[in-house]
Amino acid sequence: MIGYEENREKVIRRLHAGYPRFFLNPLTERLFSEATKALADTGSKVVLFTSRDIAQRAQRFVEKRSGSASRIASYEGLQALIVSEEDYPVAREFWRYTGEIVSSRQAKNILDHKEVAEFNPKSMRSRIAAFGGYAAEDIFIYENGMAAIFASFRAVSNIRPGKKTLQLEFPYVDTLKIQNSFGNGVVYLNEAMGESLDEALRRITKGEFSAVYCEAPSNPLLRTVDIKAVSKACREGGVPLIIDDTIASVLNIKLDQYADLISTSLTKWVSGKGDVMAGQLTVCKSSPFYSDFREILDADCPEGSRMFASDARVLARNISGFRQRMKQCNTNGEKVAAMLNEHPAIEKVWYPKFTTPELYDTLRREDGGYGALISFVLKNRKKSAKFFDALKVSKGPSLGMEFSLACPYTLLAHYDELEWVEGCGVERDLIRISCGTETDLLDRVEEALGII
């Protein structure tokens, strides 16, 4: 993990694929290369996007950051942003932050010169809506979770322009990047509790922000905001509230009575296989902005889905196992968290059942659990690497798979800003486990703890 973050050649040269927003899939990289040969002059490179609107957003982002000119051209049904080699990393930042990417399946389809197979998203929208008791027409499916969050950001910027957003609690890294890099900036409240939350609620009630963002619970500290109080202030101030339910999942918590928009990474528990990316925005019927959001998203996400057809078919297949998968993961998560919480080698555990449980429980469905994501630190920090290496589960980013995933989260997500992150209460030696469905997971964790 550290070798990857430090770009060590012996690690990077053996890394053939990675998380698609951060690491170009070989198929996507090959498509970029062919587009560059076809369209770009010497000293220029191409980044591909799925629509003209997205390419123009990327162009504005690059030109604002670099001051350099760029151009857009059509290529094999996609839109190519042609930038200088110096500006290419900036264009890739847009790709990463916003999630508005070309999937590897779409790249392969183009490289193989195949016709695009049609996919009608109507049935899938209905199936996804049923998990939360929503209406199918209020579900909008995006390329991935970040694309959904970016769509929400563009929507609120349209409805309430010229204002900053408010982020409550330490968020997933790129959610904050979007609010910092686009629009009018963000006010960040690291611990939304006590007097600091009271002050934030007063500012929300005055209508100071374009929107309020939070996660339920947060990642990786698994803290839950007083969403009932925040929602009340938002309604009084006319400020949209966008809540992300990815970490807990819609089967565990109910948010539509409080939120205006709910964002979800379908890549995680809903798909659960690790073989496709997708995101979701749900427009909440009780929202005073319901009509505005529906109008904006109907235009932004025609027919309710922006997924490439082959990706959508994989997601449609995967979601059939969501309920059973989540039930098993909940059970494993609760068992592992309880064991870690009592283990003499562990200093602290973050898990919704132990971390602000009184606030999480106000959102929990009658048959809902506490999820399967756990963060913790060892008492002896020097043994963190030994434990991590000894833990016999898959290692890497992401979460919400039917197989368990572990990562040294802070080092992986915030390696270049460790001091700032530690100042936010997120320790550099924090380990995060996403519990899968394995029947012997508890034994694996206990075995790794025994080795240290």
Q: What pLDDT digit, counting tens, does each position of 374-420 carry?
A: 999 999 999 999 999 999 999 998 999 999 999 999 999 999 999 99
91 contacts 83 by C-beta, under 8 angstroms: yes
Separation between Cα atoms, residue 69 and residue 332, nearest integer Å: 53
What one-letter code names the amino acid at 439? Answer: T
Question: Long-range contacts for 31-38 (Cβ within 8 Å, ≥24 apart)?
Answer: 31/76, 31/102, 31/107, 31/110, 31/111, 34/111, 35/75, 35/76, 35/78, 35/80, 38/75
Q: What pLDDT digit, counting tens, does each position of 178-223 carry?
A: 999 998 999 999 999 999 999 999 999 999 999 999 999 999 999 9
The full set of domain ranges for the chain reads 2-111, 122-320, 321-451
Separation between Cα atoms, residue 181 and residue 57, nearest integer Å: 12
Q: For strand 394-395 and strand 431-434, is the pairing parallel, antiparallel, or unpaired?
A: unpaired
The CA-atom distances, in angstroms, between 84 and each of 179, 213, 319 are 26, 35, 41
Return the CATH superfamily for domain 321-451. Aspartate Aminotransferase, domain 1 (3.90.1150.10)
Q: Which residues contact 124 (CB under 8 A, 6 or more apart)?
A: 141, 305, 312, 315, 316, 319
Q: Which residues contact 144 (CB under 8 A, 6 or more apart)?
A: 20, 21, 99, 101, 265, 267, 277, 278, 279
Looking at residue 329, what is its pLDDT? 98
Separation between Cα atoms, residue 100 and residue 91, nearest integer Å: 11
Looking at residue 157, what is its pLDDT? 97
Arch. (CATH architecture) of 122-320:
3-Layer(aba) Sandwich (3.40)
Looking at residue 130, what is its pLDDT? 98
The 3-class secondary structure across the chain, one letter per residue, is CHHHHCCCHHHHCCCCCCCCCCCCCHHHHHHHHHHHHHHCCCCEEEEEECCHHHHHHHHHHHHHHHCCCCEEEEECCEEEEEEECCCHHHHHHHHHHHCCCCCHHHHHHHHCCCCCCCCCCHHHHHHHHHHHCCCHHHEEEECCHHHHHHHHHHHHHHHCCCCCEEEECCCCHHHHHHHHHCCCCEEEECCCCHHHHHHHHHHHHCCCCCEEEEECCCCCCCCCCCHHHHHHHHHHHCCCEEEECCCCCCCCECCCCCCCEEEEECHHHHHCCCCCCCEEEEECCCCCCHHHHHHHHHHHCHHHECCCHHHHHHHHHHHHHHHHHHHHHHHHHHHHHHHHHHCCCEEEEECCCCCCHHHHCCCECCCCCCCCEEEEEECCHHHHHHHHHHCCCEECCCCCCCCCEEECHHHHHHHHHHHHHHHCCCCCCCEEEECCCCCCHHHHHHHHHHHC
Tokens of 159: 């409805």
163 contacts 351 by C-beta, under 8 angstroms: no
The pLDDT averaged over each successive group of 10 residues in the chain (452 residues) is: 92 88 94 98 97 98 94 98 97 97 97 92 98 98 98 98 97 95 95 96 98 98 98 98 98 98 98 97 98 98 97 97 98 98 98 98 98 98 97 95 98 95 96 98 97 90
Q: With 0-12 CB in 10 A as exposed, 13-18 as middle and 19+ as buried, what is 403?
A: middle
Looking at residue 17, what is its pLDDT? 84
The three-point CA angle 402-408-411 to 5° equals 135
Tokens of 246: 């990815």
Separation between Cα atoms, residue 286 and residue 82, nearest integer Å: 43
Looking at residue 16, what is its pLDDT? 85
What one-letter code names the amino acid at 354? Answer: F
Q: Domain 2-111 maps to which CATH number in 3.40.50, 1.10.260, 3.30.1360, 2.60.40?
A: 3.30.1360
The CA-atom distances, in angstroms, between 258 and each of 128, 209, 230, 270 are 20, 17, 8, 22
Looking at residue 15, what is its pLDDT? 87
